């Protein structure tokens, strides 16, 4: 769907330099990065709003940089920005605008789009009178009314408060799943990225430092920069087997992990384990933690003021320990130890598949 090579784009003093990016049809790709990393610049380049000074960009098999293709490609994709830009018309007219611009009239499609985002009852209201959440829904309905093959989203929920965000993103998730469109979205919210995406790219200072499955990036960041941004964590794909009260037993990494969470039985999840929450000891069951695994030390390396210990307990696990502990337990490669962590220390991120 998207093939990008050697892209160079300068905005003021900021330079975007992305050497390669590939996104398949139907893939949901998230770009995360800190403020000022160039996420919006990259998205604008993909949205054909800013022309790069160098590089090639192919979208849907066409040369996206050729002026002749611009309008066609613009009409094949939808872009949603973090602010809802609506015109001083009814909600219906706003959602119908993309069709009108293409010289089409399709009341059924408009009604469908309104229904998808649960705002049919607002169709005759003036768009400027909508609440925050309603405006974002309207913008999303508008984005999907043309059944686009590619959807670009620039921090679509950044301006929303938590409760509204949860509701709207739930509906968006549903729509994305059923539409089958390729999606590129840009966000600072890593948790939000993880719930929606298939693959992830980390953009720092105008460069994509790492691309791939979220697991890879979070557990094996290729550089200190990436690690810094994502926060070094263990993340394991898994599934919630059962739930009792608020305790989930999660099948992940070949083991069963106990996690306190809101997720439901049957949910596909990522289990996230912070290194500082992992305790290492020579004997099992230290502290009565629910999660306890026999592991072998793979490596020990200094990490800031502490030490990073990589363990293998059937799955890769990372622990942060003090120098005293390393010396005290004699931690080195091959040492057999027990790793434990509390059910409350873990967090689950629900995935869409």
Partner 1 sequence: MDFIAEGFLKALHLIFSGNAEIFAIARLSLAVSLAATALAVLAGVPLGSWIAVKKFPLKKLLIALVNTGMGLPPVVAGLVVMLFLARSGPLGFLNWLYTPKGMIIAQFIIALPIITALSISAMQSVDPKFYQQVLTLGASDWQAIKVCLKEIRLTVLAAVIAGFGRLVAEVGAVMIVGGNIRHQTRMLTTATVMETQMGNFDMAIAIGLVLLTLGFIVNLALTLIQQNKVLAR
By the rule CB under 8 A, 14 interacts with partner 1: no
Q: Return the residue of 3, 22, 74, 255 that touches partner 1, per CB under 8 A.
A: 74
By the rule CB under 8 A, 110 interacts with partner 1: no
Q: From 71-79, 157-165, 169-177, 275-283, give the range in contact with partner 1 by CB under 8 A.
A: 71-79
Q: Which of 200, 214, 235, 217 is nearest to 30 (CA)?
A: 200
By the rule CB under 8 A, 307 interacts with partner 1: no
Q: Return the residue of 79, 176, 182, 309 that touches partner 1, per CB under 8 A.
A: 79
Q: Return the residue of 12, 61, 67, 88 that touches partner 1, per CB under 8 A.
A: 88
Q: Return the residue of 36, 54, 63, 102 that touches partner 1, per CB under 8 A.
A: 102
Spatial contact of 16 and 41, defined as CB atoms under 8 Å apart: yes
The neighbour count for residue 319, using CB atoms within 10 Å, is 28
Query: How many residues of this chain interact with partner 1, rule: CB under 8 A?
Result: 22
Q: Return the residue of 69, 126, 188, 249 that touches partner 1, per CB under 8 A.
A: 126
By the rule CB under 8 A, 138 interacts with partner 1: no
Q: Return the residue of 97, 158, 167, 247 that touches partner 1, per CB under 8 A.
A: 97
Spatial contact of 203 and 209, defined as CB atoms under 8 Å apart: yes
Q: Return the residue of 9, 16, 77, 116 that touches partner 1, per CB under 8 A.
A: 77
Spatial contact of 313 and 339, defined as CB atoms under 8 Å apart: yes
E strands present in the chain: 2-11, 14-23, 28-32, 54-59, 62-63, 77-80, 150-154, 182-187, 199-204, 207-212, 234-244, 247-252, 255-260, 268-273, 279-281, 291-303, 306-312, 316-321, 336-341, 347-350
Q: What is the dihedral of CA 233, 239, 241, 246, to 10 degrees?
A: 50
Q: What residues from 48 to 67 belong to the interface with partner 1 (CB under 8 A)?
A: 49
By the rule CB under 8 A, 151 interacts with partner 1: no
Q: Residue 159 CB, nearest distance to partner 1 (Å)?
A: 13
Beta-carbon-side half-sphere exposure of residue 351 (alpha carbons within 13 Å): 21
Helix (H, G, I), strand (E, B) or coil at 2: strand
Q: Residue 251 CB, nearest distance to partner 1 (Å)?
A: 42
By the rule CB under 8 A, 101 interacts with partner 1: yes
Q: Residue 136 CB, nearest distance to partner 1 (Å)?
A: 13
By the rule CB under 8 A, 215 interacts with partner 1: no
By the rule CB under 8 A, 85 interacts with partner 1: yes
Spatial contact of 242 and 323, defined as CB atoms under 8 Å apart: no
Q: Residue 98 CB, nearest distance to partner 1 (Å)?
A: 5
Residue 78 or 210: which CB sits closer to partner 1?
78
Element (H, E) at 39: helix 39-46
Q: Return the residue of 41, 78, 135, 187 that touches partner 1, per CB under 8 A.
A: 78
User: Cα-flanking dihedrals φ and ψ of residue 26, to 5°?
Assistant: 80, -5
User: Cα-flanking dihedrals φ and ψ of residue 18, to 5°?
Assistant: -110, 115
By the rule CB under 8 A, 10 interacts with partner 1: no
Helix (H, G, I), strand (E, B) or coil at 57: strand
Tokens linked to 212: 């791939």
User: Cα-flanking dihedrals φ and ψ of residue 270, to 5°?
Assistant: -105, 135
Q: Which of 32, 335, 300, 312 is nearest to 186 (CA)?
A: 32
By the rule CB under 8 A, 142 interacts with partner 1: yes
By the rule CB under 8 A, 149 interacts with partner 1: no
Q: Residue 143 CB, nearest distance to partner 1 (Å)?
A: 9
Residues contributing to the site for partner 1 (CB under 8 A): 44, 47, 49, 71, 74-75, 77-79, 81, 83, 85, 87-88, 97-98, 101-102, 126, 142, 146, 152
């Amino acid at each position: 769907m998207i093939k990008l090579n050697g892209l160079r784009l300068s905005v003021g003093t900021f330079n975007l330099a992305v050497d390669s990016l590939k996104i398949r049809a139907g893939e949901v790709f998230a770009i995360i990065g800190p403020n000022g990393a160039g996420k919006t610049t990259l998205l604008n380049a993909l949205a054909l709003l800013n022309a790069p000074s160098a590089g090639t960009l192919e979208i849907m098999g066409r040369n996206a940089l050729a002026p002749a293709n611009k309008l066609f490609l613009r009409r094949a994709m939808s872009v949603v920005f973090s602010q809802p830009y609506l015109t001083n018309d009814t909600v219906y007219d706003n959602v119908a605008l993309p069709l009108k611009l293409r010289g089409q009239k399709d009341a059924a499609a408009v009604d469908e789009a309104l229904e998808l985002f649960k705002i049919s009852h607002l169709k005759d209201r003036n768009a400027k009178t909508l609440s925050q959440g309603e405006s974002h829904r309207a913008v999303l309905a508008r984005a999907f009314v043309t059944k686009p093959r590619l959807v670009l989203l620039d921090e679509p929920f950044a301006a929303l408060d938590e409760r509204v965000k949860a509701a709207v993103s739930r509906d968006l998730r549903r729509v994305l799943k059923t539409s089958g469109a390729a999606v590129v979205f840009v966000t600072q919210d890593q948790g939000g990225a993880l719930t929606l995406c298939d693959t992830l790219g980390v953009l720092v200072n105008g460069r994509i430092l790492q691309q791939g499955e979220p697991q890879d990036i979070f557990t094996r960041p290729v550089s200190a920069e990436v690690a810094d941004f994502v926060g070094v964590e263990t993340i394991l794909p898994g599934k919630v087997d059962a739930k009792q009260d608020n305790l989930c037993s999660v099948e992940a990494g070949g083991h069963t992990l106990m996690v306190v969470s809101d997720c439901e039985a049957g949910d596909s999840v990522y289990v996230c384990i912070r290194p500082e929450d992992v305790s290492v000891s020579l004997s099992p069951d230290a502290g009565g933690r629910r999660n306890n695994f026999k592991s072998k030390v793979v490596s020990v390396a200094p990490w800031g003021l502490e030490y990073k210990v990589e363990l293998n307990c059937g799955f890769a696990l990372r622990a942060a320990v003090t120098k005293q502990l390393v010396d005290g337990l004699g931690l080195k490669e091959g040492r057999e130890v027990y790793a434990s962590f509390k059910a409350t220390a873990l967090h689950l991120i629900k995935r869409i598949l």
